[in-house]
């Protein structure tokens, strides 16, 4: 009885090694170890043997069973691994494959506001400026105080700031303009400085044809010896011309910002003859230079900050700034 069984176990190892799939392994396992198998029958017949023979036969039977179980497990492991490898091979994607072209491929493009931002950077880099960035979440020091806006100052109210619930009340905020980047630049660099800093800005403004609650500004800062308001006016003129051509005019209007003195607002002309306010500008206030460790007796500067979304509206003659955030591809694909 035992010999026949051990022979079957040895055969089974060969059959398992050749099994092509997991179903075949399960069938062999049933045949070898299942309820109707020779193994189960041999186990049952152990009780017919003399007690002396029984122990030795039982050990041989167990050894054969362990051998078969190991062979079954090995076959399963082999087929699972190769099954996975086959599945991976079948699911493999060739990322370099080029499908035969049935229709002309349509290329995407950048959002018109991104295009305006890139164009602005190019124009200013062409004028010798470098490009910097600052964080979108700011402290009251950078967004206000260092810019000569102490907490009692009424100008704080005019920014409709969106505060973030972190630290002391009204200490952390989404920056309401890109002017804090002026401070970060002057803290870290020595004049002469010629930098522009584009980026997202946030205000609790209700969206309308000319306002968005999240919009983009570009800040400009020049600090050097003997800088005058004339340099500022010339720089604004130059970039308006580079961006819009000669038909569009710009004008400066006296205004007030705590961080510049004197201050102005600049507008550009629309095709219908009206003016659109694009930004604020002025000579950097001596207090702001001092706050950053720059001696106002030795250095002067001008700064400006204007809305990139507003500029893109002008550039493409769009009536409503909200079109930029509606994400209607039919609209966006025109630019």
Which residues in this chain contact ligand FA5 in the complex, by CB under 6 A?
177, 179, 203, 205, 211-212, 215, 217, 257, 260, 263, 277-282, 303-307, 309-310
Please list, in sequence order, all residues whose beta carbon lies within 8 angstroms of the beta carbon of residue 223, skipping any fewer than 6 positions away: 186, 191, 192, 193, 284, 289, 294, 299, 300, 301
Shortest gap between Cβ of 121 and ligand FA5 (angstroms)?
A: 17
Contact between 30 and 37 (Cβ < 8 Å): yes
Nearer to ligand FA5, 124 or 306 (CB): 306
Nearer to ligand FA5, 25 or 232 (CB): 232
Alpha-carbon span 13 to 173, nearest angstrom: 72
Shortest gap between Cβ of 200 and ligand FA5 (angstroms)?
A: 11
Residue whose beta carbon is closest to ligand FA5: 307
Alpha-carbon span 335 to 316, nearest angstrom: 8
Q: Which of 58, 67, 57 is nearest to 33 (CA)?
A: 67
Nearer to ligand FA5, 19 or 307 (CB): 307
Nearer to ligand FA5, 28 or 283 (CB): 283
Q: How far is CA 5 from CA 8, 64, 74, 296, in A?
A: 5, 8, 20, 102
Shortest gap between Cβ of 203 and ligand FA5 (angstroms)?
A: 5
Shortest gap between Cβ of 314 and ligand FA5 (angstroms)?
A: 10
Helices (H) and strands (E) in the chain, counts: 12, 10
Concatenated DSSP letters for 64-83?
HHHHHHHHHHHHHHHHHHHH
Shortest gap between Cβ of 194 and ligand FA5 (angstroms)?
A: 15
Shortest gap between Cβ of 333 and ligand FA5 (angstroms)?
A: 23
Nearer to ligand FA5, 191 or 305 (CB): 305
Residue with tokens 């079957």: 8
Nearer to ligand FA5, 57 or 156 (CB): 156
């Amino acid at each position: 009885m035992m010999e026949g069984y051990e022979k079957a176990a040895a055969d089974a190892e060969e059959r398992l090694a050749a099994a092509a799939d997991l179903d075949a392994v399960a069938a062999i396992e049933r045949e070898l170890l299942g309820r109707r198998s020779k193994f189960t029958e041999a186990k049952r017949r152990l009780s017919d043997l003399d007690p002396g023979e029984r122990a030795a036969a039982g050990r041989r039977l167990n050894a054969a069973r362990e051998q078969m179980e190991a062979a079954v497990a090995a076959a399963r492991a082999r087929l699972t691994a190769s099954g996975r490898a086959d599945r991976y091979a079948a699911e493999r994607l060739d990322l370099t494959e080029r499908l035969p072209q049935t229709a002309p491929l349509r290329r995407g493009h950048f959002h018109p506001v991104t295009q305006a931002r890139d164009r602005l950077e190019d124009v200013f880099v062409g004028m010798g400026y470098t490009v910097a960035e600052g964080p979108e979440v700011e402290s009251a020091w950078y967004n206000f105080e260092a810019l000569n806006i102490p907490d009692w100052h009424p100008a704080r109210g005019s920014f409709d700031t969106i505060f973030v619930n972190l630290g002391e009340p009204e200490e952390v905020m989404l920056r309401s303009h890109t002017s804090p980047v002026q401070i970060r630049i002057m803290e870290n660099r020595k004049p002469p400085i010629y930098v522009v800093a584009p980026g997202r800005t946030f205000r609790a403004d209700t969206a309308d044809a000319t306002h968005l609650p999240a919009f983009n500004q570009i800040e400009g800062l020049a600090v050097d010896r003997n800088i005058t308001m004339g340099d500022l006016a010339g720089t604004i003129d130059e970039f308006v011309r580079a961006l819009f051509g000669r038909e569009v005019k710009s004008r400066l209007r006296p205004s007030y910002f705590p961080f510049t003195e004197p201050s102005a607002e600049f507008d550009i002309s629309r095709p219908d003859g009206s003016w659109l306010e694009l930004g604020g500008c002025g000579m950097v206030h001596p207090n702001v230079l001092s706050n950053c460790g720059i001696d106002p007796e030795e250095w002067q500067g001008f700064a400006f900050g204007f809305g990139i979304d507003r500029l893109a509206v002008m550039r493409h003659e769009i009536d409503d700034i909200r079109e930029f955030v509606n994400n209607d591809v039919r609209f966006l694909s025109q630019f």
